[in-house]
Structure 1
């Protein structure tokens, strides 16, 4: 049959053992007997292969050291996700190594930067006005892509919209994967917003540092202590932002950030009853979709996974049915 799983990073020996486990589990002769531990059922060489099988997510090992195969759909999904993640990381490293974005960015810079007057110093302007939300987001994309060491961010309200989370999540995860240190100061509103709190806790779980301030916070983003974004009008952030590269001003903003950081408190641990970001999405779509298939498709997950999340939420809420689950979630403040 060949090594079909080689495409997904599985060796020939691991695939052979995985198929053997699947046959044994499905065999009537095996009954309810556990798949014995590697030391009992396999040669010493296969013991190491079984360990690799568990590491790949193709099998699980219980407290009795018995190995069972993960169901094929779930196993292949995990392999695909892992392959895509590794491929993305490889491509990101190659893009950085070849300076692809830098090259494209210089093309645009050459078009928008006027020639310097005779005798004047050339180069990028130290303060640039960016008008509108889209221009600001483009600047954030560029700054974070080039970030190498540190990203400092504040959110005075402490509350992020669903759209803001969707935009910032992949950016922040990319930074964390590259080893960039992320520090964020959130306004006290985060303690009353389950969605934002869950998102921040997720970032912390991946290595970010987040604090909550009960004092006024100035809005800013500082990257590598060499460039900063501040709003043109703090009361009307949609107007745009100032992109600051002047070293003295950036240093002043960093000092201000450090003072706000010292005056802030650690992010409170997420209540164990607080739903995860995925569970919040399940609750939100529960009110809109009349069929599980529709809801699962909208969330990009299998029907079984959707129902599993829903069952967990209903048990946590003590709800007898889905309508009651939605009502109880709303009362707890999990849904707006």
Structure 2
């Protein structure tokens, strides 16, 4: 690649500044073998940075802005495709890790405590938060939080941060459209807390001090109760899951706008969920969106791709490298 080959950059620079020089003169100036210079000229020609030469002295440069445009576009497309592939691997890893941890909890474990009912779960959540001394990590799926829930969390979060406990929370991207949640996030950030968002989350989860985790018995029904896990192997797996999702998540107040013709991560996740066979209702719930919003988003994607059906949307999305 031209940006990584200093010799070829030097050759191109001499072609510009010393018109009429041939391979022998360029090689002598650079102290390089003529075969090396000839190889660089071939590479520059392949990148459309030189006009075709009739002989060794007939070398004329093309503006790199023009010559490299196609190469840059091709590389950008390849990188974007790799990023999408990596995001899919991360999502699959997160989902499998959550399933693994949940199944281990169901079958019993020396470091497991079963919690029955919503009230008991809330009481233990508060207890874990109050007794944390270093760090609290949390997944918060389900979309926008109610003003009542946020106000109930405020005293506990303030107490934790004032005691020097680090708070890192991941919400769904859909909360970006909710004023109450974004205002709460701004208040929390001012106190030192960190909030990021991601298109979807595998389950609700809290990890305190990197040695105890609380997660629901059923990711689909948090009212079914929860389990507290202390087994080091399971907690370590959940920590790895959190850090993986955190790395790919975006700061709540950061810029998320992709290029005009590129899909958002939320749109990609919607396509992926529907491709897996989820209904519109299930996909909307996993993304923290209303059914109407999810369907409107799907309609927008179809229009952007010029598709006339859901099936055609999936086919065109794959061809575009979105899936």
Shorter-normalised TM range = 0.3 to 0.5
Larger relative contact order (C-alpha < 8 A, sep ≥ 6)?
A: 2
Structure of higher CA gyration radius: 2
